Amino acid sequence: MTTVKFPDDFKWGTATAAYQIEGAYDEGNRAPSIWDTFAKTPGKVLNGDTGDVACDSYHRIDEDIRLLKELNVDVYRFSIAWPRIIPQGRGEVNAEGIAYYEELIDKLIANGIEPFVTLYHWDLPQSLQDEGGWENRATIDAFVAYSEAVFHAFNGKVKKWITLNEPWCISILSNYIGEHAPGKQDLQTALDVAHHILVAHGKSVKRFRELAIEGEIGYAPNTEWRTPYSTSPEDVLATQLRSGSFNEWFLSPVLKGEYPELLMNWYEKKGFTVKIEPGDMDIISQPIDFLGINYYTGSFIRHASGNDIFDSEEISSSLGKTDFNWNIYADGFYQVLSWITATYGQIPIYITENGACYEADLVDGKVNDEARINFLRDHIMALHRAISSGVPVKGYMVWSLMDNFEWAFGYSKPFGLVHIDFNTLERTPKESYYWYKQLSSSNQLEV
């Protein structure tokens, strides 16, 4: 056995999101979000599951904080629901919404756990969607006003802020592929949404600086690592396009102030445009303090004429699969982190999500999810390799603290360190919880 030690100031944590765990969908003056609407639209979510109750975390602050405390984590990443703070999207701030998150934040701090807050984790107020949602540039200023209300409410208590979670999911998955809310399937709409949320990100960062809010601000794109099936120019191009549309498209505007040229030209050749207004790129590329990186998987890509807009296809490989049928690609984690630092420089990075879906039954009070332990161990080893080679990673958060509402797949895809019985809402730490507790307590891995 060898011991792999992490830097002394390295932060260990876990992550959740409002719509996936809170429930209490119609309490505390909360108004519907696009996910309330989408989940209640027949056929959109597996088994007709909704976030109406979820893990009922809205009513279980003390219970969830006990789990975090016993897990001995340094940080807890959660999201604030815009529909609880400004229920109509614009206008009056809801005191009950502020009070709920203030209680959560105060109790986290009292228990020595640093709150890591995501402002937007996909739950856009439905009233804004009724006005066009993120397709409408006016939603940008609504987001800035919402951000400002939250900045003011928790300034000095929250010192790590994330504007957006997974902009690729907000734009492409939700408006081109159509798997997430609002479920549109139009690439031009998706590119418009992508641009507007990036401008919204930049204007929120700008406001954060103008208001001299304490702490640091960043954002959390999801990344995947794609490897060409062969060195043929066609396979390499297909990989660069598929990968670029997922990674660079959401990193380069923020970190370089420009969209990746290869993709821009490719979209234009296909008849799609990005409507950039004067000053947009300067706003988008407001300097951020850290980069949140979500990483789950990767794949091998080859040329396939007409298969998708990039003439690309993912090919099956010998990589293992999680119970979500996602490739297990731990080396891809090392590769993508190394590529980010090589491409964008030494911006501090927090791993804001990494984890896996594995099913495991509760038997005699225990959940033996050894597969999740193996996944986490392999990925945390890859993370250590990246840190050892100079990638400035400052912390790591497992997705997720608890089993929760996995969007279009409802409650069928467990990612938690804690098992949730969705009939009783009883919480049971899994074997991976105890494994991770040992890691977060010792700051080292025995391999």
Residues of this chain that bind ligand JSK (CB under 6 A): 17, 20, 165-166, 169, 173, 177, 179, 222, 224, 246, 294, 296, 353, 399, 406-407
Residue 126 or 352 with smaller CB distance to ligand JSK: 352
Q: Which is nearer to ligand JSK, 308 or 421 (CB)?
A: 308
Classify residue 445 as left (phi > 0), alpha (psi -120 to 50) or beta.
beta
Cβ 326 to ligand JSK shortest distance, Å: 8
Q: How far is the CB of 409 from ligand JSK (least distance, A)?
A: 9
Shortest gap between Cβ of 406 and ligand JSK (angstroms)? Answer: 5
Residue 30, CA distances (Å) to 325, 359, 374 in order: 35, 32, 39
* Burial zone of 388 (CB within 10 Å; 0-12 exposed, 13-18 middle, 19+ buried): exposed
The verdict on whether 166 is a catalytic residue reads: yes
H or E element at residue 222: strand 222-228
Alpha carbon distance 397, 53 (integer Å): 24
Cα-to-chain-centroid distance, residue 86: 22
Q: Cβ closer to ligand JSK: 6 or 350?
A: 350
In the complex, least distance from residue 185 CB atom to ligand JSK, rounded to whole angstroms: 12
Backbone angles phi, psi at 116, to 5 degrees: -125, 100
Tokens representing 325? 């049928």
339-345: list long-range contacts, CB under 8 Å, 24+ apart.
Answer: 339/225, 340/223, 340/251, 340/291, 340/293, 340/391, 341/390, 341/391, 341/392, 343/251, 344/251, 344/255, 344/256, 344/291, 345/255
CB of 164 to ligand JSK, least distance (A): 11
Q: Is the CB of 157 or the CB of 184 nearer to ligand JSK?
A: 184
99 contacts: CB under 8 Å, gap ≥ 6:
28
Of 130, 128, 132, the closest CA to residue 120 belongs to: 128
The CB-of-353 to ligand JSK minimum distance in angstroms stands at: 6
The residue (of 272 and 326) whose beta carbon lies closer to ligand JSK is 326
Coil, helix or strand for 268? helix
Q: Does 353 qualify as catalytic in the annotation?
A: yes
Q: Are 42 and 48 in contact (CB under 8 A)?
A: yes
Rounded to whole angstroms, the Cα distance separating 25 from 35 reads 11
Nearer to ligand JSK, 173 or 237 (CB): 173
Q: Give the C-alpha separation, 43 to 90, whole Å.
A: 30
Amino acid identity of residue 164, one-letter, is: L
- CB within 8 Å of 403: residues ≥ 6 apart: 55, 411, 414, 415, 416, 418, 419, 420, 422
- Residue 180 gets the label, from left (phi > 0), alpha (psi -120 to 50) or beta, of beta
Length of the chain, please?
447
Catalytic-labelled residue, pool 135, 166, 224, 248: 166
Question: CB of 118: closest distance to ligand JSK in angstroms?
Answer: 9
246-265 per-residue burial string, b: 16 or more CB within 10 A, e: under 16: bbbbbbbbbbbeebbeebbe
Instruction: Please pick, among 22, 135, 224, 353, the residue that the annotation labels catalytic.
Output: 353
Q: Which is nearer to ligand JSK, 154 or 246 (CB)?
A: 246
Least distance to ligand JSK, CB of residue 21, Å? 10
- Decide whether 94 or 299 has the Cβ nearer to ligand JSK: 299
Residues known to be catalytic: 166, 353
